[in-house]
Chains A and B, each alone.
Chain A
Amino acid sequence: MSEARIRWISGPVLRAGTQDVFHVHEAVAVGPSALLGEVIKLGPDDFVAQIYEDTTGLKPGDRVVGTGQALSVPLGPGILGTICDGLLRPLLAADGPFIRPGVRTGGARRFGFEPMVPAGTRVQSGQAIGRVASPRPQLCLVPPGTAPGVVRWMAPAGEFSGTEPICRLEHEGGASSEIALTHSWPVRESRPVRARLAIAGPMITGQRILDTLFPIGRGSRAALPGGFGTGKTVLQEALAKWSDADIIVYVGCGERGNEMSEVLDELPKLQDPRSGRPLMERTVIIANTSNMPVAAREASIYTAITVAEYFRDQGLHVALMADSTSRWAEALREVSGRLGELPGEAGYPAYLSSRLAQFYERAGRVRTLAGSEGSVTIIGAISPPAGDFTEPVTMHTRRCVRTFWALDRGRAQARFYPAIHPLQSYSGDVDALARWWQAQGNPDWSAQRKRLLELLEAQVRLERMARIVGKDALPPAQQLTLLCADLVNDAILRQSSFSETDRYCSPQRQTEILSLVIRFIDLAQGAVEAGVHPDRIGELPLRRTLQRIGEEFGETRIAQIRALWKQLDSEFSSLSRERVDAP
């Protein structure tokens, strides 16, 4: 084991002298309490390392021990359903109310293991050799990078800890190796796949404004920028709860501690609308709150994506929620500053853009080594200073993502949630997903979606005009456009995360609501063309029902939405009758 002695230390950065061999990005244990750190720069007889914990009390002469491997995290069945810190060390209530620096050991959990291949089978990396039943079924794979070999011994079904061997392989040339339920993987290295696939199906988020207007495909990547108080966190949490991913990795990177406790408080109580199981069972929370060490914040994003890839390799669809990538970029800036690197834009290091690109590129829909399909979808929140979308992190991220959900302060202030601005947002996955919606029984999805966007666009233009000439001076057709755009906002785009009936909207219910609203617009346009005044349409009793349709017609009342068509037709036909009867 290589060893070094601290020569200089300041804040989270140290320089240590050594005669031994250290490597770039090698993890090191520093000082008497073995604080975790990482080598970032090497000289002929010394190196610079950053430390992921509070360095109070360290001094020159303290020991620095190399671990021989790059900064890695242990991946195994035990991480599901838990909360960990930025280096994937479990945060347990037993650790006490405050986090102390130094080594923490997770509880010695045991897992019910069941072998899937008999001894004598030839296996290769990425192949499933067994399964673990709880908290949800997980596969145990031959770790990627393992040479092909023949199973010489396979553990019988039973209870095993994460580190006990469950299988022994014999490789070509007689070498042998053991496999445990847990293996470690370097966080900065993406895990191998057989092939990358094109986006084919959506990740259903259960949010109408996203699924209907700005959908995201499985394996795609989205950015969610917004100033403070615009609802980034609430939306990220809603996505973590209701997205139809198999696994959710939620990383709180430099954010509030109460945010984590909110997720921890709610997820165990909520049920997955598809499986009926508690949502916590499919979730991993990685918490590096804003008052935890900054260097670990930089690592936490990589930890999260590595965990996501680990589950993807089991043939699962994973969604990664990163809140917030701006804090990660700031950690990068802080560490870069301490290293005396030349600053780029706004003080960020020049490699900010390439780091962002590398991170987002780890998303994707893939064919795993074992041949099954898996995906990692990344949704990264951005906290732009002063809500300014032209700042470096937002700008660089825009070039890396396919989908952009811009949060708007004006909408948030009117408590219109989700406060996604329909004209500033976009999705690059629309064409790939139109086929999916067609297969779901809505052949008109693309056309309907386009129509809503045109309507919302027209609304902005007409409101500007109305500000000058007055609303009453607009021609009836334009007055109707304003009325219909308002309806689209209320009926489709507004959706409360705190409403038990409306917090999740299934694709089927979305289609029904969308079709009904389009029907309303069609009939209204017909009526105005026939000479009915838009104000009369605004007075229709059904309009209020439509404005509150998400709230009033929950998942259990989808059939009743269809029944409203008849009422709609009759209300409109009585309008035209009035018109005919009028003298």
Chain B
Amino acid sequence: MRPELTLEHGVQRIEGPLLFLERTVEIGLNARVEVIDRDGRARIGRVAALDERTFTIEVLESTLGLGVRDTQVRIWNEPMLFGVGPGMLGRTYDSIGQPTDGGAPVPAVRRMRIDGLAINPAVRALPRDFIETGVSAIDLMNSLVRGQKLPLFSGAGLPHDRLATDIVLQARLRHQAQGSFAVVFVGMGVSHDTAESFRDAMASSGALEHTAMFLNLADEPSTQRLLTPRYALTAAEYLAFVEGRHVLVVMTDMTNYCEALREVSAGHGELPSRKGYPGYMYSDLASLYERAGCIADLPGTLTQLPILSMPADDISHPIADLTGYITEGQIVLDRELDRRGIYPPVRVLPSLSRLMNAGTGEGFTHADHPALANQLFACYARAAHVRVLASVMGEESLPEVDRRFLAFGREFEQRLVHQEGRRSLEESMAIGWQLLRGLPVAELTRLTRRQIEQYLGGEVP
């Protein structure tokens, strides 16, 4: 696409990321521009405000070295678009969707707005296809379904990358044709080695040809970091809703994205909200997360697996908090479990999958799956409660029933949460039933008489 106009002069003032120009041309809000410095280096930007005499450009990269007299501006009278087409998979792109693997540019068959459009709620289809990830703490306790957005709440130094890779490589549907799947990996402010190890994992399993990687590395401008997930999700939407694939988008690390958002907002002189993050962070995050989903009558689906490292492991930090309100649950990783060598270190109680009821049970997984998960949750919560008592009084002084719950809690972490290789849902369920056998039947109030007799061999009084 050729620019429609080039302004040789006209920059009047530069303030932070904003350029103020004389308005000598007809352009609209959010139009795409390129700002070119005296060395000919182009930086992208967009029109942020207009009045009768001037207009404002927000430069989405560093403004280092820009001058008032020697800066050129190229203008396209259209919003930011991403040219997408067949052959997007198996490639690596930079922050703004340019291939960086040395290959030819992707032949664009359509140009889509990187901001996307809201999915019409009237045609959204409820996500229902259970994805077996091979991870018991997810499959059995917090099931993932196609079209869901399920973040990993993690912390610095926890094995979230490994878990995400495991999920990507192990995920499959049960009793159904696989369909064509695709992985979109979005690295926002990630280190080079994180990107590299993900690529290696994909390559060694032969999945690289189904993967598109969008990388904004840690040393790249933070303003571009705000664009990277938008380019990547536009590609994902194309792959899902035009090419009809089942796309899993791994986004890491959302915390870097939010930091960039705060930085840019501060640069604009906006009023800060909690902890200096802008007041619109909820809406901004929603404009990314809400792009997951299923659409009635369209074959593909878009599932998101965002990863965020909670600053200071604080789940009430605005980034985790706002994400939790938008996404359909969360998988929380825990430092203590990690220290004890439990992998994946999933803290089951605060984890949640809101779509679990839509994708499990009769007709989806196993008729007794929801009841089993429910009972395990109730028992594990009680074990956690007893642990608090035991920490004060010592285990010996507890009544017999409570001691059995303590033992259950330990077993639950070591035998169900911890795992070496992939587990099918049936294997996970079998372990779950086995663990419940250690508890008195009278305490298992979430199970029916039939379930107790069938799986636990117990007598119901």
Q: Which residues of A contact B (CB under 8 A)?
A: 7-11, 15, 55-61, 83, 91-93, 95-100, 227-229, 233, 252, 254, 256-258, 260-262, 264-265, 287, 289-292, 294, 327, 330, 333-334, 337, 343, 346-347, 383, 385-388, 409, 413-416, 466-468, 470-472, 490, 498, 538-539, 541, 543-544, 547-548, 551
- Whether B120 sits at the interface, judged by CB under 8 Å, is yes
Q: How far is the CA of A296 from the CA of B435 in the complex (A)?
A: 51
A260 touching B121 in the complex, CB below 8 Å, given contacts A10-B48, A56-B30, A414-B378: yes
Confirm or deny: B430 has a beta carbon within 8 angstroms of a beta carbon on chain A.
no
Instruction: Say whether A9 contacts B50, CB under 8 Å.
Output: yes
Binds A, one of B34-42, B91-99, B387-395, B410-418: B387-395
User: Among the listed A260, A287, A346, which residue makes an inter-chain contact with B274, where contact means beta carbons less than 8 Å apart?
Assistant: A346
CA A388 – CA B448 in complex, angstroms?
A: 37
A97 with B316, Cβ < 8 A, contacts A9-B29, A539-B442 known = no
A selection of 20 A-B contacts at a CB cut-off of 8 Å is A10-B50, A56-B29, A57-B29, A58-B28, A97-B295, A98-B120, A99-B119, A258-B148, A261-B124, A346-B274, A385-B318, A386-B321, A409-B350, A413-B377, A414-B381, A415-B378, A466-B389, A471-B402, A472-B397, A543-B442
Q: Are B399 and A59 in contact (CB under 8 A)?
A: no
CB contact between B460 and one of A83, A544, A551 (< 8 Å): that residue = A544
B78 to chain A, nearest CB (A): 8
Task: Let me know if B326 is at the binding interface, CB within 8 A.
Answer: yes
Q: Which of B29, B48, B121 contacts A287 (CB 8 A)?
A: B121
Say whether, besides A93-B122, A262-B126, A415-B377, A334 and B321 are in contact (CB < 8 Å). Answer: no
Q: How far is the CB of B120 from chain A (nearest CB, A)?
A: 5
A95 touches B316 (CB 8 A): no
CB of A374 to closest CB in B, whole Å: 29
Q: Are B120 and A96 in contact (CB under 8 A)?
A: yes
Q: In the complex, are the beta carbons of A383 and B126 less than 8 A apart?
A: no
Asked, given contacts A415-B377, A541-B461, whether A99 binds B350 with beta carbons under 8 Å apart, the answer is: no
Interface size on B, residues (CB 8 A): 82
CB distance A60 to B271 under 8 Å?
no
Q: How far is the CA of A413 from the CA of B460 in the complex (A)?
A: 27
- Which residue of chain B has its CB nearest to the CB of A292? B118
What chain A residues lie within 8 Å of B243 (beta carbons)?
Answer: none
Q: Using Cβ atoms and an 8 Å threshold, which residues of chain A touch B357?
A: 498
Chain A positions within 8 Å of B241 at CB level: 97
Q: Is B290 an interface residue (CB 8 A)?
A: yes
Could you tell me the distance in whole angstroms from the C-beta of A239 to the nearest C-beta in chain B? 17
Closest to A541 in B: B461
Task: Check A258 against B328 for contact (C-beta < 8 Å).
Answer: yes
- Closest residue of chain B to A411 (Cβ to Cβ) is B381
A337, B124: Cβ atoms under 8 Å? no
* Docked-complex contact B124 and A330, CB < 8 angstroms: no
Q: Give min CB distance, A116 to chain B, whole Å.
A: 33
Knowing A97-B241, A100-B117, the reply to whether A57 touches B122 (Cβ < 8 A) is no
Closest partner residue, chain B, to A330 (CB atom): B282
What are the residues of chain A within 8 A of B389 when measuring CB–CB?
466-467
In the bound complex, CA of A476 to CA of B249 (Å): 57
Knowing A97-B120, A97-B295, A228-B325 are in contact, say whether A60-B52 is a contact too (CB < 8 A).
yes
Q: A291-B290, A333-B279 are in contact. List 10 more A-B contacts (CB 8 A).
A: A57-B29, A57-B31, A256-B328, A287-B121, A289-B121, A470-B397, A471-B402, A472-B397, A472-B399, A490-B445
The distance from the CB of A274 to the nearest CB of chain B, in whole angstroms, is: 25
B324-367 residues with Cβ-Cβ distance < 8 A to A are 324-326, 328-330, 349-350, 352, 354-355, 357-358
Compute how far the CA of A347 lies from the CA of B272 in the bound complex, rounded to whole angstroms: 8
A414 and B399 within 8 A (CB)? no
A372 to B329, CA, bound (A): 45
Complex contacts, A343 vs chain B, CB 8 Å = 271
Closest A residue to B31 by CB, please name it: A57
- A463 CA / B62 CA spacing, docked (Å): 59
B392 and A59 form a contact (CB under 8 A) = no
Tell me the smallest distance from the CB of B127 to a CB of chain A, in Å.
7
A294 and B118 within 8 A (CB): no
Contacts of B117 in A (CB 8 A): 98-100
Contact yes or no, A260 B324, CB < 8 A: no
Q: B350 near A413 (CB under 8 angstroms)? A: yes
Contact A257 B118 (CB under 8 A): yes
Chain A residues near B350 (CB-CB < 8 A): 229, 409, 413
B23 close to A60 (CB less than 8 A): yes
Flag if A544 contacts B445 (CB, 8 Å): yes
Q: In the complex, what residues of B have CB within 8 A of residue A551's CB?
A: 448
Do A414 and B51 form a contact, CB below 8 Å, given A334-B279, A467-B389, A543-B442? Answer: no
A467 touches B388 (CB 8 A): yes
A500: shortest Cβ distance to chain B, in Å? Answer: 11
Any A CB within 8 A of the CB of B218: no
Q: Which residues of B contact A471 (CB under 8 A)?
A: 399, 402
- Bound-state Cα–Cα, A10 to B318, Å: 26
> Do residues A257 and B121 form an inter-chain contact, with CB atoms below 8 A?
yes
Please name all residues of chain B whose beta carbon is closer than 8 Å to the beta carbon of A543 when the two chains form the complex: 442
Candidates B50, B56, B121, B448; contact of A264 at CB < 8 Å: B121
CA distance A346 to B350 in the complex (A): 27
- Closest chain B CB from A55 CB (angstroms): 5
Docked CA distance A260–B125 (Å): 10
With known contacts A337-B271, A414-B378, A56–B79 Cβ distance under 8 A: yes
Q: Among B30, B270, B321, B461, point to the contact of A228 (Cβ < 8 A).
A: B321
Among candidates A8, A56, A261, residue contacting B125 with C-beta atoms closer than 8 Å: A261
Is there an interface contact between B378 and A416, defined as CB atoms closer than 8 Å? yes
Whether B124 lies near A8 (C-beta < 8 A) is no
Q: Are A9 and B49 in contact (CB under 8 A)?
A: yes
Report yes or no: B358 in contact with A262, Cβ–Cβ below 8 A: yes
Chain A, Cβ-Cβ closest to B375: A415
Interface assignment of B7: CB less than 8 Å from any CB of chain A: no
Residues of B within 8 A of A470 (CB): 393, 397-398
How many Å lie between the Cα of A105 and that of B381 in the bound state?
A: 52
Q: Which residue of B lies closest to A337 (CB)?
A: B271
Residues from chain A with Cβ under 8 Å of B270 in the complex: 337
- Alpha-carbon separation in the docked complex, A265 to B126 (Å): 7
Contact present for B274 and A385 (CB under 8 Å): yes
A55 touches B283 (CB 8 A): no
Give the Cβ gap from A417 to chain B, nearest Cβ, in Å: 10
Let me know if A413 and B381 touch, CB within 8 A.
Answer: yes
Contact between A8 and B445, CB atoms less than 8 A apart = no
Check if B442 sits within 8 Å of A8, measured CB to CB.
no
B286 at the A interface (CB under 8 A)? yes
Could you say which residues of chain B place their CB within 8 Å of the CB of A547?
445
State whether B121 touches A8 (Cβ < 8 A).
no
- Contact partner of B286 (CB less than 8 A), chosen from A291, A337, A468, A472, is A291
Contacts A261-B124, A544-B460 given; does A294 touch B280 at CB 8 Å: yes
A233 / chain B contacts, CB cutoff of 8 Å = 354
Note all chain B residues with C-beta closer than 8 A to A15.
Answer: 51
Interface centre among B52, B79, B286, B397 (most CB of A within 10 A): B286
Task: Note all chain B residues with C-beta closer than 8 A to A490.
Answer: 445
B432 adjacent to chain A (CB < 8 Å): no
Nearest 7 CB-CB pairings of A with B: A414-B381, A290-B286, A386-B316, A10-B49, A228-B324, A8-B51, A98-B117
Known: A229-B329, A290-B326, A470-B397. Contact between A58 and B29, CB under 8 A?
A: yes
In the bound complex, do residue B392 and residue A468 qualify as a contact, i.e. CB atoms below 8 Å apart?
yes
A411 to chain B minimum Cβ distance, whole angstroms, is 9
**Nearest chain B residue, comparing its CB with the CB of A498:** B357
Alpha-carbon gap, A7 to B460, bound state (A): 77
Query: Quick one: which of B215-252 are within 8 Å of A by CB?
Result: 241
Q: Is B382 interfacial (CB-CB < 8 Å)?
A: yes
1/0 per residue, CB under 8 A from A, across B1-41: the answer is 00000000000000000000001001111110000000000
Q: Give the residue of B52, B120, B298 whose beta carbon is less than 8 angstroms from that of A91.
A: B120
User: When the two chains form the complex, which single residue of A98, A472, A541 contacts B118, counting CB atoms closer than 8 Å?
Assistant: A98
Among B23, B124, B350, B358, the most chain A Cβ lie within 10 Å of the Cβ of B124
- The smallest beta-carbon distance between A543 and chain B, in angstroms, is 7
Question: With an 8 A cutoff between CB atoms, is B419 at the interface?
Answer: no
Q: Are B122 and A83 in contact (CB under 8 A)?
A: yes
Q: Does B191 contact A (CB under 8 A)?
A: no
